[in-house]
Structure 1
Amino acid sequence: MLWRVRTTLADRPGYLAEIALACGRAEVNIVALQVFSTSPQVTDELVVRAPDGWTDVQVAELFEAAGGAGVSATRVSEASLTDAPTRYLRGAHQVLEQGRSVEHVLRELLETEPPDVADYTGHDVMTLTRRDGSHLHIDRAVPFTTAERDRAQALLSLVGGAGGEVPPATPSPRTEAPVVRAATLDDIEAVSAMHERCGAQTLYDRYQAPLTMPMTSRMTRRLVVPDAGTALVVQVGAEIVAHGVLECVDRTWTFRMIIEDAWQGRGLGTRLMRQAAGVAKHEGAARLAIVTAGSSDKLLRAVGNAGFVARVERHDGNVHITVPLREVRAVDVASSADR
């Protein structure tokens, strides 16, 4: 089993030897190494092969006991053994010759998929500048090194505006403020219309299956009045632009949400999460699992913006971001309207 380990060490001779000795004693094999100078310390990135059954906690404890600080351990694939310059050159080729989105390529190179970390308390944001002066933001739970930032900026500068980047549609200018509230049967048509405006990937991330047929009234009714829970919507003017379902099954509270493409990145996910957490707390929940089938980068960012500390896990192909509700203020669903 391969793990990428990041650790900070004092910049003096001998420290790396102690790490290597500790790994040897634990039968953990170092298969790749990069050193990022951050004087007066250094950040070492190692790819190690640990015995089957090891967890991220065990790997991190091994490095901490050997003198490492700020240790993070994330599970990786064999692709991580390819050297970085080769991977970035291939990335440039994919953008220039195959028309791939430079953002998607950079996210693969920087491995921004949710890491196998026990506790997520925030994220590091990399801001890159395109040739036209616009910015590209990429975030990850494991902090970026200076070298990674330089490589990413160099790639973006090289490919310029090439690739399959299509800016998302922007919503029409509105003066109404978004309102988060409980859904009712009167919202059936508006929720159905919101789904019609969502892209295929957005729908797949929410429902774990492609939705190729228009939503029926019966399907939408179950979304606004779920059998074992509560539905929340975000309303702007006369339109519903986001929807979430809070459910309790086998004493486990989960929340799944969908935000119309044109309204993503505007803080609606953070507001929906806060409201759902408050309603779940009012119903007696001790924790809430926020579930998605897709990349959880945006979801993790919303969790961090909401001020939650979360546990990131994978179950049956989905990402579960579990939030403890000790510090959350309870909200009565009957009056759960938030502007």
Structure 2
Amino acid sequence: MALWRIRATVDDRPGYLSVLTASLALRSVNILAVQVHTTEGGAVDDFLVDAPDTMSEFELLTAIARGRGREAFVTRAEAQGLADQPTRALALAGRLVHDPDALGEALVALLDAAEVRWRPAGTVVLHGYDEQHMTLIDPAGGTYEVMRPAPAFTPAEYARAQALVEVSSAALRRGADQVTLLLPDGSELLVREAAGDDLEGVRRLHADSPSESRLRRLVEPGTGVTLLATAGERVVAMASLRTEGDLGEASLLVDHEWQRRGIGTALLRRLSAWADRADLEAVVAHVGADNVAMLRTLRRLGVTGPGERDGGLLSLTLPIRSRQVATTETPATSG
């Protein structure tokens, strides 16, 4: 038996796919996988099949035509084609998380493309696709042009390619947001956005052992961002910004061994910058009324007025657009 990849268009009407599969079955063609791409011209059916060794390309094309398939494309397939398309896409996304610069190679693998060309920023190339060309905006700058003589690109393939670009873009943004923080005593911390695999590190930072659901909301808020400061593998501080509409709510926690070393100041400055990019109007921080160091930090970041008091808790608002934030990454000695 031999592996083949078949693509053909049939009318998007009940029963038409079964006619095509029956025609293949009559010739002992075993269908191993099938995907259906909906287009304006009909349903594009993409098959991975196992056919008798004696069957030729012409015989396959004839079987497709007798099954009411049109615009047929047939080519030999390799064993790796046995992996279904979602599995391939997930594997490529996983690769891009660790190596976002491999986007070009990932697009070739995802789309079985003949060639991928990169064009620098400033080149007039509109993103979109036609039968043989697909153009995608490179998150690092420029444009990728993907070429495949046959079969014609489909809307589903374009959507998959755009999703892969988004994965690469997110990985690049995360890498760009990582900075090394130099403390006054010469110690260095890595400040970065939190991710799902930081759950255990954040759990150790909290003395009150939060529930699993609350821990996940802290690490990956539904809307907003959580920043971590790490010393090696250890999480020593975290700052979270949860957003609702154009307002944000900030919280900060620093390990007691690392307090009063400027880490809180540095994290809150980065949260303020994130809020500015997100076009938030203001950020509210809830602070203990006796937390002098934290209150001093918030005043330095632009908080004015007494705030609103609820028992021993103060709610202070930082207007994003009118704040004055130092531009250096080296923090002050308090916070």
Q: TM-score, normalised on structure 2?
A: 0.43
Of structures 1 and 2, the one scoring higher in RCO (CA 8 A, sep 6+) is 1
* Structure whose alpha-carbon radius of gyration is higher: 2
Q: TM-score, normalised on structure 1?
A: 0.43
